[in-house]
Amino acid sequence: MQTPPFDELLSLIDARSSALRSAVAVAPGIDVSVPGCPDWTLFDLVDHLGAVQRAWAVIVTAADPSVHPDLGEREVEGELLEWSAESTSLLLAALRAVGPDSPAWAWWDSDGAPHTSGAIARHQVQEAAVHAFDAQEAAGVVEPLPGVIAVDGVGEFLAVPLRSLGEWPHRPARIRFDATDGPSWTVDLTATGAVLDPAASGEPVATVRAPASDLVLALYGRKPYDDLDVDGDRDVLRELREWAVVD
């Protein structure tokens, strides 16, 4: 599955950020607890995504992969959802201004994804999508992740956040993720870290089958693997859940 074009990534960031705000607007209150982030309220969730989007806007504009720039002021000012919408606009404007190939600082391992504005846009789709789901769950209006986001999200998680965690602390394991509405991905977990679609052959110790949306939400800790179709070693999935904690 090919990553969506840059312009589509920007549209998806915009759409999922708007979905988060729409869910917050119909929630019983801004102090409602967020099931996917148990220590957060909806206010904390909106604050987090807005701060993240403002930070990446600064990073993208700096266009310097060697330095983490001063991120400046990122506190909520004024009405919360208006501040959130402005945060999204700042990120999108920064990305549009530089295009997909501009170099940029990034926290992830460059073996998993390049340090470019395009890779940042790709990850920010997932950031907005998963947190939109969080807001919807808190508001009681849950929807699955849109298909194009979910299918790209499985591979992005395995190649970027998972790869960046470094050494796998348990026995080596191969896991296969089968999307019932899309492709499949295989990841090896070893002392050298996570490797997506490894060259070496071999059978997985566990296979997880589900719609791509459920796979992404399980990888991000929003759905239990027990709710999905699993063949093989469930213990390795428990270990994966405990190791791969990503906000």
**Helix intervals (H) in 200-244:** 212-219, 234-243
Mean pLDDT score of the chain, rounded to an integer? 95
As a residue count, the chain comes to 247
Q: Rounded to the nearest 5 degrees, what angle is found at the Cα of 36, between the Cα atoms of 2 and 241?
A: 70
Q: CB neighbours of 110 closer than 8 A, spacing ≥ 6? A: none
Which residue would you say has higher pLDDT here, 120 or 245? 120
pLDDT confidence of residue 89: 98
Neighbour count for residue 216 (Cβ, 10 Å)? 29
pLDDT at 245 over 90: no
pLDDT confidence of residue 199: 84
**pTM score of the predicted model:** 0.96
Q: Domain spanning 154-243 has what CATH number?
A: 3.30.1050.10
d(C-alpha 119, C-alpha 35), whole Å: 28
pLDDT at 104 over 90: yes
Domain extents for the chain? 6-139, 154-243
Q: Write the pLDDT tens digit of every residue in 167-212.
A: 999 999 999 999 999 999 999 999 999 999 998 889 999 999 999 9
At residue 230 the predicted structure's pLDDT band, cuts being 50, 70 and 90, is very high
pLDDT confidence of residue 74: 76
Q: Which of 61-75, 99-113, 123-137 has the highest mean pLDDT?
A: 123-137
Which residue would you say has higher pLDDT here, 1 or 196? 196
H/E run at residue 40:
strand 37-41
pLDDT confidence of residue 111: 86
**Residue 144 DSSP code:** P
At residue 1 the predicted structure's pLDDT band, cuts being 50, 70 and 90, is low
pLDDT at 98 over 80: yes
At residue 73 the predicted structure's pLDDT band, cuts being 50, 70 and 90, is confident
Q: Residue with structure tokens 């490894």? A: 198
pLDDT at 70 over 90: no
Fold of the domain spanning 6-139:
Four Helix Bundle (Hemerythrin (Met), subunit A) (1.20.120)
d(C-alpha 176, C-alpha 158), whole Å: 11
**Sign of the Cα pseudo-torsion (76, 81, 86, 90, in order):** positive
Q: Write the pLDDT tens digit of every residue in 28-67.
A: 999 999 999 999 999 999 999 999 999 999 999 999 998 8
Q: Which of 86-90, 111-115, 170-174 has the lowest mean pLDDT?
A: 111-115
| CA nearest neighbour of 205 among 180, 162, 240, 181 | 240
